Structure formats: structure tokens, C-alpha cells
């Protein structure tokens, strides 16, 4: 688990020399070394409940990965309350819904980021009446496989686990899941329940991101890790 704070809304936060940017670079490194035997390429980012900052996390993680030169694509799979287009300040005229319903070529819906040409975004498109059925369709699985063939990282923004079934439908078909937790808001029981639901569908939970943490005023910031026995370990590092 790593900490991010409230200031992650700035476009270039991962380029700055702050504890927040260091946290995202740490998250990037952890993902790159998550698995030795099987590369983790498709990653689902979700939360237990709404408004925990998952879309903000996915945006800045995408920037952190793109900075290394790898090809990254972000897909808004929240077909009920899409926000990726707002995060990246791009139009949402067509996207995932069109690709799945019309069995259309995904390339025509990829919007290149203004700052990183190796970062693409696919918005949700029109909100459909049956999001779960679209998300769980064979066309969706085929679409994800095509993305994995052409991108190094596929980041999927999904609805909250405790709100709808969409994330649990997607979780088993991606390489890994990241659970976003909001500091001083998300209840422990909600997080435990979300983890239990994801585990029941055999999701590969990569870890959690603690979001909206107040940045330390001292010259240090903290990383939190969990040992094999579930105990919490805190490590202190000096800010650069």
C-alpha cells in the first residue's frame, strides 16, 4: 500500500519532486516487478465505494508509466458514471460502448494524450441501459486481448465493487486489480467486504492505494507495507 495525497489533480504531478510524485513512481515500480513469471499488462482500478479517487489515481499512474516510454492506454469501463474524459479534459463523443455494441475497430476511438503521445485514452461513450452485460460480453474480452497485444499497460477504470457487479465481471479476465481506499473516509469493513468479493471471483489483487492523505510537513514521507502475517510495517524516507 502506498500513499497519495489531495494534490494529485495537477497534470504534471508525477514530474514534480514531491512525496506524491515519488509515491506514484513507487507504484509504477511495484507494478513493473509484480510478477516474474507472468507480466501484468491489464490492470483494473476500482474502489469499494464512490468518490474515493480511483479516476485520479488511474490518470496519474498512466502518466507515471508513460514517462518511461512504454505504451499505455486508459479505458473508461465505468459505463454508469464515467469520469475519465473529465480527468483528461477530453470529449466523450464515442468510446467503449460503441466498440462493444457495434463491434467497431477500437483504434478510431483512441484519443492521444496532449503531453504523452505514447498514452492513449478510450472514453466510455454513450451510457447504455445494460452496462454489466456489455462488460461481461465476449466482445469485451476480445477487445481487451487486442489492447494487450498493442499496449504494454492497459488501465481500466471500473465502478465501485460494493455498488454494482461490473468490477467483479471484469476482475477475473484482467491480469490484476488495484483497490483504491480514501484516507479518513473509507470504512475498514467496506474495504474488507470489497476484498472478499474480489477474492471470491478469483481476482488477482495486486494491492491497494491509500488516497487523499495529507502530505507530511516534515522532511519525511511514509510507505506502508503489509507483512505475510497481515501486520502493518511503516517505513520512513526523506523527501528529495
CATH number at residue 178: 3.40.50.300
Range of the domain at 40: 35-211
Strands 119-122 and 111-112: antiparallel
Q: How far is residue 84 from each of residues 30, 79, 160, 235, measured CA to CA in Å?
A: 23, 11, 14, 33
Question: Quick check: is 227 in a domain?
Answer: no
Residue 94 lies in a domain: yes
Q: Are strands 153-157 and 42-47 parallel, antiparallel or unpaired?
A: parallel
Buried b or exposed e, range 78-116, using 16+ CB within 10 angstroms: bbeebbbbebbeeebebbbbbbbeeeeebeebbbebeeb
Q: What is the largest CA-CA distance in the chain?
A: 54
pTM of the model: 0.82
Strands (E), the chain: 2-5, 42-47, 72-76, 111-112, 119-122, 153-157, 176-182, 205-213, 220-226, 232-238
Q: Does any domain span residue 134?
A: yes
CA distances from 50 to 25, 68, 83 (A): 25, 31, 12
* Mean pLDDT per 10-residue section of the chain, whose length is 240 residues: 39 55 78 73 94 89 93 97 95 96 93 94 96 95 96 96 94 94 85 94 91 57 43 47
- What is the Cα–Cα distance from 126 to 154, expressed in whole angstroms? 21
Integer Cα distance of 100 and 228 in angstroms: 40
- In a domain, residue 190? The reply is yes
- pLDDT at res. 168: 95
pLDDT score of 184: 74
Residue 18 is predicted with a pLDDT of 59
Three cell numbers at 42?
A: 491489464
**Number of independent structural domains in the chain:** 1
Structural domain includes residue 233? no
- Report CA torsion sign: 120, 57, 52, 163: positive
Cα 240 to the center of its chain, rounded Å: 26
Phi, psi of 19 (to 5 degrees): -65, -30
The pLDDT value recorded for residue 33 is: 74
Amino acid at each position: 500500500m502506498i500513499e497519495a495525497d489531495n494534490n494529485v489533480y495537477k497534470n504534471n504531478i508525477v514530474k514534480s519532486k514531491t512525496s506524491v510524485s515519488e509515491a506514484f513512481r513507487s507504484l509504477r515500480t511495484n507494478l513493473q516487478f509484480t510478477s516474474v513469471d507472468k507480466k501484468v499488462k491489464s490492470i483494473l482500478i476500482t474502489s469499494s465505494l464512490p468518490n474515493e479517487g480511483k479516476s485520479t489515481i488511474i490518470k496519474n499512474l498512466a502518466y507515471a508509466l508513460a514517462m518511461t516510454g512504454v505504451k499505455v492506454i486508459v479505458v473508461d469501463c465505468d459505463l454508469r458514471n464515467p469520469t475519465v474524459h473529465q480527468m483528461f479534459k477530453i470529449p466523450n463523443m464515442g468510446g467503449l460502448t460503441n466498440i462493444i455494441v457495434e463491434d467497431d475497430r477500437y483504434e478510431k476511438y483512441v484519443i492521444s494524450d496532449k503531453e504523452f503521445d505514447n498514452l492513449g485514452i478510450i472514453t466510455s461513450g454513450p451510457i447504455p441501459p445494460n452496462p454489466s452485460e456489455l462488460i461481461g460480453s465476449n466482445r469485451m474480452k476480445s477487445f481487451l486481448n487486442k489492447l494487450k497485444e498493442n499496449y504494454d499497460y492497459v488501465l481500466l477504470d471500473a465502478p465501485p465493487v460494493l455498488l454494482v457487479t461490473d468490477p467483479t465481471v471484469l476482475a477475473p479476465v484482467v491480469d490484476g486489480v488495484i483497490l483504491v481506499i480514501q484516507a479518513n473516509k473509507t470504512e475498514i469493513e467496506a474495504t474488507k467486504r470489497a476484498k472478499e468479493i474480489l477474492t471470491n471471483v478469483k481476482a488477482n489483487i495486486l494491492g491497494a492505494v491509500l488516497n487523499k492523505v495529507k502530505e507530511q510537513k516534515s522532511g519525511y514521507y511514509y510507505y506502508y507495507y503489509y507483512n505475510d502475517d497481515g501486520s502493518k510495517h511503516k517505513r520512513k524516507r526523506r523527501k528529495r
